[in-house]
Amino acid sequence: MDKSLKVTAWILLSIALVLYLLPFFTQFVISLSAVWVFLTCSLMMNAWSEYRKTRKKPKIIFSIFFFGFLFFFAIFDLFFMR
């Protein structure tokens, strides 16, 4: 995995930690989940371009995308579907 993918993965993990530690700041958490989704989608686009070049599936990136998708819907459900 190249350096930009590692940096993006660490950013996503740090955002996940912030989402767990600051659930009482509603607007802050919602904006962080939006940033999480944006970074996850950019990581997924990077993974897709890597896959098209090498034809090898980057499994860690797809799992990060999947968990980012789950985090987004968990936050959305928590704050908007009451």
Ordered by start, the domain boundaries in the chain are 3-80
How many residues would you count in the chain?
Answer: 82
Could you tell me the CA-to-CA distances from 16 to 1, 30, 53, 62, 76 in Å, in that order?
A: 21, 12, 30, 16, 14
20-47 pLDDT, tens digit each: 666 666 666 666 667 777 777 777 777 7
Whether 62 shows a pLDDT value over 70: the answer reads no
pLDDT, position 52: 77
Distance between CA atoms of 39 and 45, rounded to whole angstroms? Answer: 10
Give the pLDDT mean for 14-23: 69
Q: Which helix (H) or strand (E) holds 3?
A: helix 3-21
Question: pTM score, two decimals?
Answer: 0.41
Whether 51 shows a pLDDT value over 70: the answer reads yes
